[in-house]
Structure formats: C-alpha cells, structure tokens
C-alpha cells in the first residue's frame, strides 16, 4: 500500500462562523444549472453543490478561522480573510483554487464586498472602508493590492458595504447606528450622505427600488427604515435640478428622507443578520431565537405602500448568524454558528434543499467545534458512521460528503460505533448505559442492550465479532466486559478481571479471541466462546489506551499512556516489538506550556490504532496535531500528517512567542480573547450570570479547543483513511490525486497556441490545451478540425490529469479530459449535424475507456453520473430520431414504388388500347 495519502475532503463539519455565499449559476454538461454554497469551516472552505448533491473542501488553509469570504460577480476571484485580517486571493476558475496573493490588513475585517462590475473591492476595518482595485489574476504583479482610496466618517465598526448597480456609489452601515453613502470617485461639491435615526446598531443597508430610488436600512432592534427622495410641501423632489443636470450621479445629488418605518415585532430577540435581493425585492431577516422572516419590499418608496410578510419560520434552536440569497431569489442559505448548522431553504415550495448539522460542542467563546468521538467505515467504504459527545450517531456518504441519517436516541455522549462486518447494521455504545443496534435498511433502533444491574453502567468501548452475532462493550465504572447476542438481545456473559476502566476492545479477525485493554496497565486476551476464563494478562508499563488486531489475527498492537506502541504475538503471548512514539507524535505547544522544550512531549500519546488491509502499515493518532503512519516490518515512521494548521486551535504552534507573555508569565492569547470585541448582548449571553450576581459568573472561563485526534481508521478498500479531529472528519486518499499535467504549468497556453497546434495537425495537444483554457467555442473549433480517422489515436492517448473549477461544483479527477470529451460529445449529439462522426467518437471512447468508467462507479451519485445520463439520453434521442426517420423514409419509398407500379400499369393499359 502506498503512503502518499493527501487530503481529499472534510466531513463532519459544515459551518463554523463567518458568512455563507452562493456561487453564480453555471451550466452543466447536460444543459442543467449548477449552483453551490460556499461555507467556512474553521480555517478551510467547503463547497456544497446543491444540484448534484456533492460537497468538497478546498485544500488551502488560512492561519486562523475564516471570518469573511467574498466572490466576484463573475465567479472567478475569491477572497478569504481570517480573524487576524490576513487575506488570501484565490482563482475560483482554476481547478484547486490556487492562492495567488497574500495580503495582511493588520486589523480585523468586518466585511469584503466586490463592486457590481468586479473592478473594485471594498474592505472594512474598524471604522474605515478601504477600496482596492481588484488584482488581475491573469497577470503576475509585484504589488497587486493597489489602494484606490480610504473612506472615513463612521464612529463605530463598519459591518458591511453595498454597491450601486453602476459601481459609482456604495452604502456602508456601522455599529454607530448610521449608514453613509460614499462616491467611488470624487464629485464636485459632494459630501457623503448620512442616514441616521435608528436606536440600535445596523445589520444591513441596501440600495434598491426600480431605478435605485430607495434605500433600506435594518437595525438590531427589528426596525426597517425605507428612505426616498425628500419632497417639499407641494410634492416636488428637492434638488431635482441637480439630478437633471447630472443624472449619472443621481444617488449623490438626491436629498434623502425617511418615508416609511416598519418593525418586525419579534418578542425577546434581536436581528442578527439580514440579506436583500434587489431584483425580487425580497428581504430576509434572521433573529437570535432561530427564527427567520421573509418580507417582500415594495419597489416604490412612496407613502402608503407597505411591506408584505411572506412567511416567518423557526429553523434552529440557536441564533442565525449568516444569511444569503441566490441570484434567482428562490433559495435562502442560513448558518447557525453555535450548532454548526447549514440550511438552504426554498421559500416558494417551503422545503429544504440542504439541511446539514455537525456533531456540535459549544464552548464559552460561542464558536461551534466538532466533537466526534469515534468513527467506523462500512465494509464497502462508501459510508462512515460517527459518534459524538452530543449523543448523536451520524452516517456520512464518502461519495457525496453529506450526512444522510442521524440517530439521536442516546441521552449521553456516544463513546464508540462499529459497523457489522456482514449486513447493514451499526452498533453504538454510550455513557447512558446502553448499547444500541441500528438497522440501516429501515433506519431504526431494533435492539437495545443494557447491563443487568439497577444502576446503569457507562460503556466506553465496543467490539463486534466477524459474524455480527455477538457484541461486546467495556465499562468505565465496573471494569467489566459484557457480551450480548444480537439475535435475541440477551446477555451472554460478563468478563471480570480488570482492575481499572476498560479503554479498548477488539475481536480477532480470524479466531474467537477478544482482546481488552484497561487503565490497570494490562491487556487480556479472552477465549470469547470458550468455557475457560483463565487469562494470563500482558503487563504494560503504563495505562492502555488503544489496541488493534493485525488482519491475520496473529499480532496485537497496544498503545499506552507513555506514548509507546507495543506488539505482541497472540499465540505465544510474548512481546515482539516496540515503537517509542512519543517523539513522533510530539509537536505543537499549548498556550499553557512553558517556553522551554523540556515539556514539549508531555501529555502526548496515541489513543487510536488501525492496521492497513494488508497488515504492513499502522496508523496512529492521539493527543497531538499529528497522525503517524508506521511501517510494521521495519518499525519505522513513514510519514507524519498534520491534521490542522489552524492557529485558532491550541496546540498547533511549534514555538511560542515570548513577546506574548505578560509579567505574570501568562500568555495573553489565553486571556478572554473575544470579550472586549463582542457587543453587550453577546457578553450577557456568554456570561450566564448566577442569581443575584451583577457582574456575571466569575467562575466562567474562556478556553481554546485543543487540536487532537480521537479516532483513525483505514478504509477497507485501502484507498484512504479517515481521522476524527477537532476540525471535523478528515478524509485522506491516494486514489483521486491530480497527476502532473504539463498544460497547467505552461505560460504559452493561449488561443493562438491552440490554433497553431491544430494547424500543425497536433490534434491531441490542441484539444487538451483548448480544454484547459475552458473556452467552449475554441474546444468546438478544434474538435471539428480533427478528422474522424484520427479519433482512435486521440481517444487512446488522452492524458490523465486536471480537474474542474469551483463554480461548476464537480470534483476533479485523473480522467478530466475524458470527461470533458464525453460532455462535448453529448452536446454535439443533441445539437450537431455530424451524427455519424460523433457516434464513431462515442464508440471509440466506450471501447477504450468503458472499463475505467465502470470501475470508477458510473452509477448514481458518482462523478460520471451526470455525463452518463446525458449520453444515454442523447443516444436514446438519436435512436428515436433515426428510427422515426427510417420509418418515414420507408413509407415514402413504398409510396414511390406504388406510384411507379401504378404508372407502369397505366402505360401498359394505354399501349394495349392503342
């Protein structure tokens, strides 16, 4: 098995903080539309394809958690900003969204907004608005971030910016209860307009109306003000002569006044976020109670018109922190930070397009972090089941990246989950004193196993035998191992002997042995179905945290608290090897560690082990930011995987900065990091004061989650592995890695070079270059220049490399050119006149690459599903058309033959008469 695993996807977490965005609508190969949602997940960015039901996570990482993202109107430029104001500029039109430029704003950013023409970017920091010229992603620039102008005037933090349609003006709103209208370029005699009158900080301000003759502002207290042109007593617009003299700057010359006031009237809550759709006149408002409202705003701001409430719904138990509307105004996206929840709602049909929630754990900093405790692969490697400290069991699809089933019958933290080796059954153990069996056909709990004692036993680990008929669970309080029959649900036996909590269980893959590890520093191997209970324990130097059987059942790996991994011969009962893993797993210091290196490895240990399918590799993860991959035969470290580089997590830094330590010897990053930045409502919410205490609960502490791995598992098919970490469920793979593609790195990749290659009859090179440029007209022109006789050569020599862009929403792969060629053939079969030539191309593709498509899963849900459906539809249509044409031609020929015979008969009769 290869060791060149690379990050492929992030599951288990769908949203953490920041704003969510819809991508512009793109066109798929079968003529349908593709639309995706961009969601920040920690320091990564996930893309959820809402049409093809797939998700993927981009490979880049920011230094800290992402605070805001922005996408240009054409979907080609992506801006990502983290909590410290470090900005990344990415090319959203290229395969893996490579990072083109870094830029440090040296201050926390409120929002990033592109102008409507995409030429400028407005970035807000504290009370300032900085407008930059959008960098050119096609030209290498030494200093790409050119400042156009800095706008001041607000007295509080600016929270957002909205541009006019002509990109000459922008409207900013702030926590100082006002909004201000700025002009991009200087206008003689113009002073920024101020919109005041609200009694709370603003959460949104937009320019709307038929001719942008209205301005809408929304504040946290639920007030909506509609502004329009101020009129005199006779109803004439004041300063109309200035507007008529300079109609291009009408927004700046208009004297604005409040024409209408509306209130949302949601009791005991405040507005937390809002979004406005200009074309449809729709206003979406999210509240702190988890309720959202949709209002239709009148196109005219004249007196007498009123807003219409379309509907008001509760979609979450916690406050909604982000809302977005897609380009058509049909879908609404919501993000709930505390629950790690992402929802997409279609308001016309009142149905969910997407509803995903992670295993959530709320810290005092009000940021949701993943709390996955255990994971297990299905025998087919198509699904992963996870358990969490929130008492839920979730099933995830490795193909789509979505959670499709959630079981929440457990009333306490779920400590372990396992798939049965045969049949669609999942077992889970919990601290609530139950072990449950779940039927994955009917999605129900069909067995519940408990201890015979009156007091519930807390189960900490779980094991299922190879037949799936017996399940065992170890306890933390009685130090016993319980056996149950899955068929009858009866307790078969109780194994006693351990003198400490049982931490890990494992059935032998080939025999009847059951191994159990405990904090009493022993490992016991039981004959699970024998009568004798005499067991000679393996003594360890420290507490046992994890055990794993080798696939052949002859070797047992044991991880202990001192960071060692010991190997035992099961039959002989002797130790055969040892790995000193503490130095391998050590790395990343906590904020509470000293500045010296003596205690850098303290507290570092492995708590999860897993053998590869062939038994040659061992995967180990634990209380560290590293996951280690070992070669068993040589007992050497092959590779260390860094699961996260997020500095918002504790334990990711290798070296601590002495300048961040105060006179008391405490790192200032560990002291109430967000308290001074949050507003009064957030501070009161996080304080949770005790009765009679005016200053809040002094015992409450803020803490940063520590980067760690709770469980690691190899996929049964050997193509990857998964790690349950603080950031979520990380998937690593060596299957769908993008191979080297020389066309991606070529500077001379231009349309002129493509035409030159086609003229020189270098058809394969020209076709690949045209596909890399992603110009449909150029691809079609090159394809039509290729003679049909060259089809076999081109198809047989297609390179394996490349991937697709962000907006398309489809995952890339090593058969990129093959997929693009099939998409082109589908379009030509639907529209093109050269039917015979296109069918020859299709025949060559299926003859050469049919097995490849089949092996990669051409069924529903795979990356080939949409292409193969389009091809099948096109061929069916071609068959129907040709069949109809043949029937018509047959009828016509029969008619002509009959007419010919009739004519001959008539001529013969005429001759006889004569």
pLDDT recorded at residue 795: 85
* Confidence band, pLDDT 50/70/90 cuts, at residue 860: very low
Could you give the CA distance from residue 551 to residue 611 in angstroms, rounded to a whole number? 7
* Confidence band, pLDDT 50/70/90 cuts, at residue 679: low
Whether 152 is covered by a domain: the verdict is: no
Domain boundary among 715, 733, 751: 733
Could you give the CA distance from residue 810 to residue 823 in angstroms, rounded to a whole number? 13
Could you give the CA distance from residue 804 to residue 816 in angstroms, rounded to a whole number? 8
Same domain, 609 and 754: no
* C-alpha separations of 894 from 237, 617, 884, 908 in Å: 79, 73, 15, 21
Task: Please name the residue that has the structure tokens 């803020």.
Answer: 702
* Confidence band, pLDDT 50/70/90 cuts, at residue 263: very high
Q: Is the pLDDT of residue 557 over 70?
A: yes
Phi, psi of 729 (to 5 degrees): -95, 105
Q: What percent of the chain has pLDDT over 70?
A: 86
Least confident of 214-223, 376-385, 675-684: 675-684
Averaged pLDDT, 13-37: 79
Same domain, 776 and 718: no
- 34 or 28, higher pLDDT: 34
Sequence-separated (6 or more) residues with CB below 8 Å from residue 546: 503, 504, 517, 558, 559, 606, 607, 608, 609
Least confident of 429-438, 500-509, 576-585, 676-685: 676-685
Could you give the CA distance from residue 251 to residue 188 in angstroms, rounded to a whole number? 14
Q: Which two tokens stand for residue 672?
A: 């109430």
Least confident of 441-445, 744-748, 791-795, 818-822: 744-748
- 741 or 730, higher pLDDT: 730
Whether 111 is covered by a domain: the verdict is: no
Averaged pLDDT, 311-322: 89
Averaged pLDDT, 742-771: 76
Whether 74 is covered by a domain: the verdict is: no
Element (H, E) at 729: strand 728-733
Same domain, 656 and 803: no
* Confidence band, pLDDT 50/70/90 cuts, at residue 843: confident
Same domain, 711 and 755: no
Whether 862 is covered by a domain: the verdict is: yes
Q: Do 11 and 696 meet the contact criterion of CB atoms below 8 Å apart?
A: no
- 236 or 365, higher pLDDT: 236
| CATH number, domain containing residue 635 | 2.130.10.10
Q: Is the pLDDT of residue 812 over 70?
A: no
pLDDT recorded at residue 833: 67
Q: Is the pLDDT of residue 540 over 80?
A: yes
Domain boundary among 692, 716, 733: 733
**Distance separating the N- and C-terminal Cα atoms of the chain:** 95
* Confidence band, pLDDT 50/70/90 cuts, at residue 901: confident
- Distance of alpha carbon 842 from its chain centroid, rounded? 35
Same domain, 659 and 754: no
Same domain, 711 and 567: yes
pLDDT recorded at residue 545: 94
Q: Is the pLDDT of residue 245 over 90?
A: no
* C-alpha separations of 800 from 689, 773, 814, 849 in Å: 61, 17, 5, 12
pLDDT recorded at residue 740: 43
Could you give the CA distance from residue 169 to residue 182 in angstroms, rounded to a whole number? 6
Sequence-separated (6 or more) residues with CB below 8 Å from residue 264: 222, 223, 224, 271, 285, 287, 293
- 682 or 851, higher pLDDT: 851
Q: Is the pLDDT of residue 27 over 90?
A: no
Nearest partner of 13 among 376, 384, 341, 381, judged by Cα: 341
Same domain, 723 and 755: no
* Confidence band, pLDDT 50/70/90 cuts, at residue 300: low
Q: Which two tokens stand for residue 171?
A: 């409207």
* Confidence band, pLDDT 50/70/90 cuts, at residue 370: low
Whether 475 is covered by a domain: the verdict is: yes
Same domain, 651 and 781: no
pLDDT recorded at residue 252: 85
Averaged pLDDT, 83-100: 86
Output the average pLDDT for the chain: 84
- pLDDT per position as a tens digit, 685-716: 554 444 544 454 445 555 678 889 999 999 98
Q: What is the pTM of this model?
A: 0.79
Same domain, 375 and 468: yes
Same domain, 634 and 755: no
- 486 or 26, higher pLDDT: 486
Q: Is the pLDDT of residue 512 over 80?
A: yes
* Confidence band, pLDDT 50/70/90 cuts, at residue 307: confident
Same domain, 777 and 828: yes
Whether 187 is covered by a domain: the verdict is: no
Q: Is 789 helix (H, G, I), strand (E, B) or coil?
A: helix
| CATH number, domain containing residue 802 | 1.25.40
**Bridge partners, 397 (sequence order):** 383
Whether 624 is covered by a domain: the verdict is: yes
Sheet strands (E) in 814-914: none
Averaged pLDDT, 159-178: 93
- pLDDT per position as a tens digit, 630-643: 999 888 899 999 99
Element (H, E) at 902: helix 865-913
Sequence-separated (6 or more) residues with CB below 8 Å from residue 817: 767, 768, 771, 798, 799, 800, 801, 802
* Confidence band, pLDDT 50/70/90 cuts, at residue 802: very low
Least confident of 272-286, 429-443, 615-629, 838-852: 838-852
Could you give the CA distance from residue 769 to residue 775 in angstroms, rounded to a whole number? 10
- pLDDT per position as a tens digit, 32-63: 567 899 999 999 999 998 888 889 999 899 99
pLDDT recorded at residue 674: 47
Q: Is the pLDDT of residue 746 over 50?
A: no
Averaged pLDDT, 142-157: 91
Most confident of 137-146, 283-292, 362-371, 831-840: 283-292
Whether 246 is covered by a domain: the verdict is: no
CB environment 34-68: b (16+ within 10 A), e (fewer)? bbbbbbbbbbbbbbbbbbbbbbbbbbebbbbbbbb
* Confidence band, pLDDT 50/70/90 cuts, at residue 682: low
Domain boundary among 711, 733, 755: 733
pLDDT recorded at residue 213: 86
Same domain, 641 and 502: yes
Residue 552, domain extent = 369-670+702-733
- pLDDT per position as a tens digit, 56-81: 999 899 999 999 999 999 888 999 99
The tally of domains found in the chain comes to 2
Q: Which two tokens stand for residue 660?
A: 């961040």
Q: Is the pLDDT of residue 414 over 80?
A: yes
Nearest partner of 522 among 507, 508, 506, 502, judged by Cα: 502
């Amino acid at each position: 098995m290869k060791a060149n695993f690379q990050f492929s996807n992030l599951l288990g977490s769908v949203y953490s903080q920041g704003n969510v965005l819809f991508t512009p609508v793109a066109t798929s190969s079968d003529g349908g539309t593709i639309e995706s949602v961009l969601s920040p997940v920690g320091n990564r960015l996930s893309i959820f394809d809402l049409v093809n039901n797939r998700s993927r996570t981009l490979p880049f990482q920011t230094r800290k958690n992402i605070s805001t993202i922005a996408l240009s109107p054409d979907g080609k430029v992506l801006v990502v900003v983290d909590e410290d104001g470090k900005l990344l500029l990415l090319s959203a039109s290229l395969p893996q969204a490579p990072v083109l430029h870094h830029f440090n704003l040296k201050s926390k950013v409120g929002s990033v907004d592109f102008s409507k023409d995409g030429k400028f970017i407005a970035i807000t920091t504290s009370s300032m608005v900085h407008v930059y010229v959008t960098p050119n992603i096609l030209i290498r620039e030494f200093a790409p971030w050119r400042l156009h102008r800095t706008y001041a005037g607000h007295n509080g933090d600016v929270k957002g910016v909205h541009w006019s349609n002509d990109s000459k003006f922008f409207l900013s709103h702030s926590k100082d209860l006002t909004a201000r209208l700025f002009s991009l370029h200087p206008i003689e005699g113009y002073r920024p307009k101020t919109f005041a009158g609200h009694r709370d900080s603003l959460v949104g301000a937009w320019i709307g109306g038929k001719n942008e003759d209205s301005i809408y502002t929304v504040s946290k207290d639920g007030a909506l003000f509609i502004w329009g042109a101020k009129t005199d007593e006779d109803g004439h617009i004041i300063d109309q002569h200035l507007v008529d003299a300079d109609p291009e700057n009408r927004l700046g010359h208009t004297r604005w006044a409040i024409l209408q006031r509306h209130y949302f009237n949601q009791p005991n809550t405040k507005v937390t976020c809002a979004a406005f759709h200009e074309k449809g006149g729709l206003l979406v408002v999210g509240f702190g109670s988890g309720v959202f409202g949709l209002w239709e705003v009148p196109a005219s701001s004249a007196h007498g018109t009123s807003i219409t409430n379309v509907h008001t719904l509760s979609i979450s138990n916690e406050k909604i922190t982000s809302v977005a509307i897609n380009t058509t105004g049909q879908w609404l996206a919501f993000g709930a930070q505390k629950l790690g929840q992402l929802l997409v709602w279609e308001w016309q049909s009142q149905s969910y397009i997407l509803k995903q929630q992670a295993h959530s754990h709320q810290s005092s900093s009000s940021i949701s972090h993943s709390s996955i405790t255990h994971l297990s692969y299905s025998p087919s490697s198509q699904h992963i089941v996870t358990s969490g400290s929130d008492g839920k069991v979730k099933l995830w699809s490795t193909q789509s990246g979505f959670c499709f089933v959630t079981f929440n019958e457990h009333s306490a933290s779920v400590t372990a989950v396992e798939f049965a080796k045969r049949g669609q059954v999942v077992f889970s153990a919990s601290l609530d004193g139950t072990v449950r069996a779940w039927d994955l056909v009917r999605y129900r709990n069909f067995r519940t196993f408990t201890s015979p004692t009156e007091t519930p036993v807390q189960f900490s680990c779980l094991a299922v035998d190879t037949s799936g008929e017996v399940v065992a669970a170890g306890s933390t309080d009685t130090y016993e191992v319980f056996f149950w029959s899955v068929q009858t649900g009866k307790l078969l036996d109780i194994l006693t002997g351990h003198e400490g909590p049982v931490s890990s269980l494992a059935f032998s893959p080939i025999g009847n042995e059951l191994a159990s590890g405990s904090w009493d520093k022993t490992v016991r191997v039981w004959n699970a179905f024998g009568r004798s209970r005499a067991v000679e324990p393996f003594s360890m130097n420290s507490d046992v945290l994890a055990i794993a059987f080798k696939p052949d059942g002859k070797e047992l790996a044991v991880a202990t608290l001192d960071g060692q991994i010991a190997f035992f011969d099961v039959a002989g009962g002797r130790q055969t090897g040892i790995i000193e893993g503490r130095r391998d797993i050590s790395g990343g210091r906590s904020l509470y560690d000293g500045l010296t290196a003596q205690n850098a490895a303290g507290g570092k240990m492995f708590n999860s082990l897993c053998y590869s399918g062939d038994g040659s590799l061992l995967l180990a993860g634990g209380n560290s930011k590293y996951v280690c991959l070992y070669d068993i035969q040589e007992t050497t470290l092959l590779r260390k995987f860094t699961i996260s580089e997020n500095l918002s997590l504790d334990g990711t830094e290798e070296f601590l900065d002495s300048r961040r330590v105060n006179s008391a010897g405490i790192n200032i990053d560990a002291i109430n990091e967000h308290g001074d930045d949050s507003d009064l409502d957030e501070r009161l919410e996080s304080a949770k004061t005790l009765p009679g205490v005016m200053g809040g609960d002094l015992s409450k502490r803020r803490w940063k989650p520590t980067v760690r791995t709770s469980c690691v598992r190899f996929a049964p098919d050997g193509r990857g592995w998964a790690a349950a970490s603080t950031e979520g469920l990380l998937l690593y793979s060596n299957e769908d890695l993008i191979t080297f593609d020389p066309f991606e790195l070529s500077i001379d990749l231009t349309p002129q070079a493509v035409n030159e290659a086609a003229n020189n009859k270098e058809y394969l090179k020209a076709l690949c270059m045209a596909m890399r440029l992603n110009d449909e007209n150029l691809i079609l022109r090159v394809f039509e220049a290729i003679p049909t006789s060259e089809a076999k050569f081109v198809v047989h020599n297609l390179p394996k490399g490349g991937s697709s862009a962000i907006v398309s929403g489809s995952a890339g792969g090593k058969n990129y050119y093959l997929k693009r060629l099939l998409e082109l053939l589908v379009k030509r079969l639907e529209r093109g006149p050269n039917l015979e030539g296109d069918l020859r191309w299709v025949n060559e593709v299926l003859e050469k690459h049919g097995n490849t498509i089949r092996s990669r899963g051409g069924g529903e849900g795979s990356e080939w599903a949409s292409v193969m459906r389009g091809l099948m539809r096109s061929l069916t249509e071609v068959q129907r058309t040709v069949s109809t044409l043949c029937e018509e031609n047959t009828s016509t020929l029969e008619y002509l033959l009959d007419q010919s015979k009739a004519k001959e008969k008539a001529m013969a009769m005429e001759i006889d008469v004569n």
